[in-house]
Amino acid sequence: MNKNTHPVARPGIMEIAPYVPGKATASGSGKVYKLSSNETPLGPSPKAKAAYSELAGELEFYPDGGSTELREAIAARFGLNADHIVCGSGSDELLELIAAAYLGPGDEAIYTKHGFLVYPIAIKANGATPVVADEVDLTANVDEIIKKLSDRTKIVFLANPNNPTGTYLAFDEIKRLHSAMPADCLLVLDAAYAEYVRRNDYEAGIELVATSSNVVMTRTFSKIYGLAGLRLGWVYCPPGIADVLNRIRGPFNVNAAAIAAGVAAINDEAHTQKAVEHNEKWGGWLTDELTKLGLEVTPSVGNFLLIHFPDNANHNAHKADEHLSADGVIARRMDGYLLPGALRLTIGSKEANHAVIDSLKKFLAGS
């Protein structure tokens, strides 16, 4: 037996670029403001914290495998059928389950040029081929997506709003895309930031899922609800797709503490509204202040901003990131999203937002 042999992954697996999360540490020695992962500065609802704590005495018991109470709370909040909801360990798991259920070798799946990096990972992990559709002005473009459709296309992944650009497509454009897709092609609307959007022409996907057999909408508790550490998400599906996902998900894929905290969080509408109001106020303030500094900011409907830096040796995005880090501000570099001249920054607390502007003023004033 050859001692140098070892198990080898399926073809294509080692070609997948691992997902690199936002940094959690800064190079400076003072106070740190983590603005790299789009976490809410308000934290979770106090009611969610209390619900989480109450589970400490019951950790020996398995959770409800169907996340029944959570699905019913989500259904009540949004006026949905609980049987058409599947919960998961973050929306990432649900995106991966969708890919596993509907993709295989020879299939194609489309996502847009600056779309969420989990999409190509999920596509390649199942032996399918990722197809990238161009964007226009850092915004998904329906015509470009339609151009990429073929008889091999099984899924179109569309983040709306999109991370990391903060741009979105109006509902009329989503419907136009859907009408151009064949019935056997699945449209996945990733609406992780839907709760932050305040635009009359936006719709997260609930209406289209309810009236179609080939559309699903994924959502997360990691952003506005502040439960990123618990990993909790959900997908609203036509009944046939919910049945498929329930057949392949783990029997206890959502932990009991996440279920309890999720129920409390989604029922605390007052806390959610505070998060929306904070985001509206400080997102506008940050955009104005960054623009005054001469920086270009992509208009965002999410809880983050994409900031573009000059293409010169002294004031480029990488230098800005180093300077911010030394001042305790953790940003997200965009090289992996094919945007090396930009940084993404979460809209943070009042103190954090002022720290960003103060740091960048010093950075841009330097030679």
Q: What number is the average pLDDT over the span 80-94?
A: 97
- pLDDT above 90 covers a percentage of the chain that reads 90
- For residue 165, the model assigns a pLDDT of 98
Q: How far apart are the first and last CA of the chain?
A: 63
**Which pLDDT does position 156 carry in this prediction?**
98
Q: Dig out the tokens for 365 from the structure.
A: 């004033």
Q: Which domains does the chain have, with CATH numbers?
A: 13-44+270-365 (3.90.1150.10), 46-268 (3.40.640.10)
Question: Which of the four pLDDT bands, split at 50, 70 and 90, describes residue 9?
Answer: confident
pLDDT of residue 216: 98
pLDDT in tens, 263-273: 999 999 999 99
The pLDDT tens digits of the residues spanning 295-347 come to 999 999 999 999 999 999 899 999 999 999 999 999 999 999 999 999 999 99
Q: Residue 287: CB partners within 8 Å, gap ≥ 6? A: 297, 299, 300, 305
- pLDDT band at 3; cut points 50, 70, 90: low
- Rounded average pLDDT over 122-127: 96
pTM: 0.94
pLDDT band at 275 (very low <50, low <70, confident <90, very high): very high
pLDDT in the model for residue 46: 98
Q: Is the pLDDT of residue 158 over 90?
A: yes
Which residue has tokens 């969420």?
Answer: 116
Residue ranges of E strands in 160-265: 186-190, 215-220, 233-236
| pLDDT classification of 28: cutoffs 50, 70, 90 | low
Output the pLDDT for position 268: 98
Nearest CA among 72, 95, 98, 97 for reference residue 85: 72
Mean pLDDT of the chain: 95
Angle at 272 between CA 266 and CA 273, to 5 degrees: 140
Beta bridge partners of 297: 307
pLDDT for 1 equals 55
Angle CA 7–9–13, to nearest 5? 160
Q: How confident is the model at residue 29 (pLDDT cuts 50, 70, 90)?
A: low
pLDDT value at 121 more than 60: yes
Residue 155 tokens read as 């899924």
What pLDDT, on the 0 to 100 scale, is given for residue 16?
Answer: 84
* pLDDT (average), residues 80-102: 98
Indicate whether 2 pLDDT > 70: no
